[in-house]
Structure 1
Amino acid sequence: MLVLDQLTAQRIVERTMLAIGHSVNVMSPGGLIIASGDSTRVGCQHEAARLVAERGQALVIDVGDADGYPGVRPGVNLPVTVNGELAAVVGISGIPDEVGQFADLVCMTAELMLEQAALIEAGQHRRRQVEDTLMAACEGKPVPAQWFEQLGIDAHHHRVAMILEATTQEAVDQVLVPLVPMIEQRQKAVIAVRLSPFQLLLFHETGEAPPTPEEVRRLLNLPPREDLFLAIGQVFSGRFQMGYQSARATLAVGRRKAPSRQILYYGDFRVAALWHSLSPAWQHDEIQAPVTALLRQRQGELYLKTLRRLIECDGQIQRCADELHLHANTVRYRLQKVQSITGLSPFSLQDLFILQLALCAY
């Protein structure tokens, strides 16, 4: 059932008075004046409105009859229904023979505005249900399958979670705010959840691979801006928590490791994102110890750069040397220095994996 609010009632008063030039009142079914062309009457009881609500019929109050109805002035009072239910009573103050001609216009205007308010309220209610259900799933809380069914969400579709973050208020106003209604109207394969004024969580139905940057920009109509960042998590089916956490970790790690990139993929930061998601405490300092030891050295950054490139080259020394424009022996020398400083050998697969974790945690 629609609950008439003061803002909607005041809009009805202003819209109808502009059209007819007579004072209009909007009352609750209980007879309370919610909005009026005469502000002094707001909050007063209107006996005629209560009778109209009880009978479901219009009531005309002539000049000589007004004294018999407390809080009432001469005029015409009509019931306003929305979806077959009484939602309000509208009254036009004035001599009945003069204002009666506007009765249908005022009543129809009020009904249309209340129907619109009811649709908006229903849409907002469903949006809250969707957001509450998905956030519960993202937080790992048990969500009955019936909840998804009632909201028309097939939880078993392949989806990817994406977090869109704006770093300026301008980006919020120009991109995030209009994006939600656009998605609801045009993109049925995308569900939007507001995480904060500066972040949107998006669930996009996809195949087994995440969408490309071009597909994402076209899907969301995203402009290339330096104050917008989009983190794309791991593709999932049913496991909303995994999708959400992978996107959140990708955003945190990607913003730190690749600050110039606007679109960040989980696959590009997989190990670092997994490590971030574990929320390590003392383990962080322990795993990062090799990097800390290297940074104490005068050429530490150089050794780290060489180590990173070796890992990117799958441990192939000649390929690493070619990409760094160095002789292979120079690369071997630097890697030997890494071993002597950290006690971990880049030539050992097991030690190289630990060094990779250390770089990811850095």
Structure 2
Amino acid sequence: MELTDQLGKEIIRRLSKYIDVTINLMNAKGKIVASTDPNRIDQLHGGAQTVIETTESQFITKENIDCYSNVKPGANLPIFHRGKLAGVVGLTGDPEHVVQAAGMTQGSVEIALEQIFIQRQAFYQERQWSHWLQRLLQDGEMDHEDLESEAKFTLRVDVHQIWQVGIFQSDNPFELAENLRKNLHPYNPLFVLPFQENRVIVPFPYDDFPIKLSAIDGVKIGIGEPGYSVAGVRSSYYQAKEAIELSGEYGKIVYSKELEMERLLNFKDSLTYDEVTKVYRQRFTQLEQAYIETLTSYFDNDLKMSRTAEALHIHRNTLIYRLDQIHKKIDLDPRKFKDAILLQSILLNT
């Protein structure tokens, strides 16, 4: 990476807060691309040109100043990035007085260049993964071979393994993605990408055990089933998405595996569903909230009366009364198997 006008200005902005002498940054051709003295910008610096030719530091004094063009007394040091000359940093003043500051500035510039390089690489790779993910999840058939080839030769990842996708849904997906990249690093995810308006997608490598994550306040988390290669990532994504849609709550983790009945009920012909449930749904909308909460808890507790009453903190007789009222108001008895299935389906789609 070479020093450019934009990079140089940003580095100068940072360094000028701590160094009170003139700082010049020259590119690999010796042109001053940034300086705390605006009048020096775009000029060729003779001392920097010598540094570039020799790759050695040059100290300009009043005695040898005539040996260089367009210079002032000071210290000029080479800047290297990944073994290649990236430019030159120069500090104006008596070389004996500024040499230490020049060395510190040289180190600071090299560190800044590496940080910027890493940030750019990460940003570029994230854009590549985002494009790959968009192609993977687009409607219609996907090109398995092309996606696998792009992952291998462009993104340098072999996707021929089992993946389990997690979807993290939040009002601030970009901040969430940054936190997940730090905290999920031990899991070695394929990527951590904000996707659409409020989701972060994370495919985890699967090793015969379900992903064990901790719930996050203010975040819905859905986990799909394990799947192989690109097709597995795609199917696991849609399973995780469906898990959130069916049972997702903020601060809760929902596994697709735990929602097999709900997923099956959700897979229906809409016309037939409307025909069968229309009257019941109209009656359901008239239910008081206490009855809806009772019905939800009753199903969550596997139709067990004692467990439901305990969960709701009500007497068993109160629970029986409420179930009787639901039967009376909707004409479906939640204690009967077929009626319970219809009521569960209506609950899931309300």
What letter corresponds to residue 84 of structure 1 in structure 2?
A: G
User: Do structure 1's residue 240 and structure 2's residue 233 form an aligned pair?
Assistant: yes
What letter corresponds to residue 292 of structure 1 in structure 2?
A: R
Number of residue pairs matched by the alignment: 334
Q: Are the aligned partners of 1:29 and 1:53 in contact in 2 as well (CA < 8 Å)?
A: no
For 1:338 and 1:116, the matched residues in 2 are separated by 64
TM score, norm. by length of structure 1: 0.67
Q: Check 1:49–1:114 CA distance in 2 against 1; reply closer, same or farther (3 A cut).
A: farther
Unmatched 5+ residue regions in structure 2?
310-315
For 1:136 and 1:164, the matched residues in 2 are separated by 20
Residue from 200, 213, 219 that aligns with 1:216 = 213
Partner of 2:244: 251
Q: Are the aligned partners of 1:13 and 1:35 in contact in 2 as well (CA < 8 Å)?
A: no
For 1:230 and 1:145, the matched residues in 2 are separated by 27
Alpha-carbon displacement from aligned partner over 1:173-204 (angstroms, at most 9, x marks no partner): 6x6533313333x3325642222685322222
Q: What SS does the aligned partner of 2:192 have?
A: strand
Partner of 1:200: 200
Where does 1:231-310 land on structure 2 (aligned, <5 Å)? 231-238=222-229, 239-255=232-248, 259=249, 262-270=252-260, 272-273=262-263, 285-286=274-275, 288-295=277-284
Q: Check 1:144–1:199 CA distance in 2 against 1; reply closer, same or farther (3 A cut).
A: closer
Q: Are the aligned partners of 1:13 and 1:36 in contact in 2 as well (CA < 8 Å)?
A: no
Following superposition, the deviation at residue 216 of structure 1 comes to 1.0
For 2:42 and 2:201, the matched residues in 1 are separated by 46
Partner of 1:182: 183
For 2:293 and 2:18, the matched residues in 1 are separated by 73
For 1:112 and 1:261, the matched residues in 2 are separated by 39
Q: Check 1:166–1:337 CA distance in 2 against 1; reply closer, same or farther (3 A cut).
A: closer
Following superposition, the deviation at residue 337 of structure 1 comes to 8.1
For 1:98 and 1:334, the matched residues in 2 are separated by 88
Where does 1:1-362 land on structure 2 (aligned, <5 Å)? 1=1, 4=4, 6=6, 10-11=10-11, 14-15=14-15, 18=18, 21-38=20-37, 40-41=38-39, 43-48=41-46, 51-52=49-50, 55-58=53-56, 59=58, 61=60, 63=62, 65=65, 69-70=69-70, 72-96=71-95, 98-99=97-98, 103-139=102-138, 141-142=142-143, 143-150=146-153, 151=155, 153-167=157-171, 177-184=178-185, 186-189=186-189, 191-195=191-195, 199-208=199-208, 210-211=210-211, 215-217=212-214, 225=217, 227-238=218-229, 239-255=232-248, 259=249, 262-270=252-260, 272-273=262-263, 285-286=274-275, 288-295=277-284, 356-362=344-350
Q: Check 1:195–1:8 CA distance in 2 against 1; reply closer, same or farther (3 A cut).
A: farther
Percentage identity across paired residues of the two chains: 18
CA RMSD of aligned residues (A): 4.9
For 2:160 and 2:49, the matched residues in 1 are separated by 54
For 1:263 and 1:304, the matched residues in 2 are separated by 21
Q: Are the aligned partners of 1:303 and 1:338 in contact in 2 as well (CA < 8 Å)?
A: no
Q: Are the aligned partners of 1:2 and 1:118 in contact in 2 as well (CA < 8 Å)?
A: no
Following superposition, the deviation at residue 263 of structure 1 comes to 1.8
TM score, norm. by length of structure 2: 0.69
Q: Are the aligned partners of 2:79 and 2:88 in contact in 1 as well (CA < 8 Å)?
A: yes
For 1:320 and 1:95, the matched residues in 2 are separated by 89
Alpha-carbon displacement from aligned partner over 1:275-326 (angstroms, at most 9, x marks no partner): 7789x87777556524324337779996997699589859xxxx77996857
